[in-house]
Copies of this chain bind each other. A is one copy, B any other.
């Protein structure tokens, strides 16, 4: 069962209208769901976003194919869209309309004093909302969430079950926070004297701007004095760690298990691939891409693609890796050169003996 299907089917022509595309073939064909090229059956729409899979698209059993103009496949019913993957988002939303939980505060939730509840707010069972918090219109707080005092959650934001939001945290509009995420725990700050670590009170906040998504079991710590800020539209995957005072620009993508140490600043549209890390107090420019497993210890200029530990230009890293692989051979080569050198030198000294 690799496919997916909504309650009702859609005519291709209707889907084309929905996503601003056009049909080649039978616009009246009805598809009942979306599936991958391999898993699709005749009742499905499938899609070709990556030209690498063209072969599979030619042989898919799908009834219709969503793809970009210029990559048409003959004899098939096609839905052409300039950005097939973007169009896919809209089509999937049509097949799987978001079913918001029933509005209202569960009788099993505990909402503190002086809490503002906007219109159509939903608070699930066993959730706790701290005194003085502000939940804007359409906010969804899942079952078992705990929000501290004076939190602000922007319009339409959704906290999945069992998210914890420490006091004074602020979320913009349309944020999504997945289960287990913790926003606003204390940063890791201690003053050490004679081997004893004294806690530095962490009195800053966490601020997520609009349209931020945070994955399951990620942790974004509050600032020590200032704030930890995640810019508009940045998407954060699971098990990510953002330390106190980190600033992430707009439009970032931070993949699973990446981590950013205290007070580091990331520009706009930065990508951190999986399991990468950034040291504290560094500055990473706009549009930087950090490869998986990389450790960034120093500033990175805008537009760079870096890899390795420590991070370096991606191509330089690839060359170094290739050279490293070749290193045992190189050592053998040097050993042979030394032997040949010795033989030449021996000869020379014999010659000079003779010359004498």
Contact = CB atoms under 8 A, between A and B. Distances in A.
Nearest to A84: B191
A190 B253 contact: yes
Contact of A2 (B4, B196, B226, B344): B226
Contacts of A191: 83, 85-86, 88-89
Contact of A233 (B186, B197, B227): B197
Interface string A175-191: 01011101001101011
Contacts of A215: 185-186, 188, 219
A35 interface: yes
B327 A203 contact: no
B110 A125 contact: yes
Size category of the A interface is 35 or more
A62 B279 CA distance: 28
A140 interface: no
A325 interface: yes
Contacts of A142: 146
Can you list the 3 inter-chain pairs with the closest CB atoms, starting with the nearest? Answer: A2-B226, A146-B161, A164-B179
Given A144-B146, A162-B164, A188-B256, 9 more contacts: A4-B204, A83-B191, A92-B200, A185-B216, A217-B218, A275-B295, A323-B331, A333-B334, A341-B341
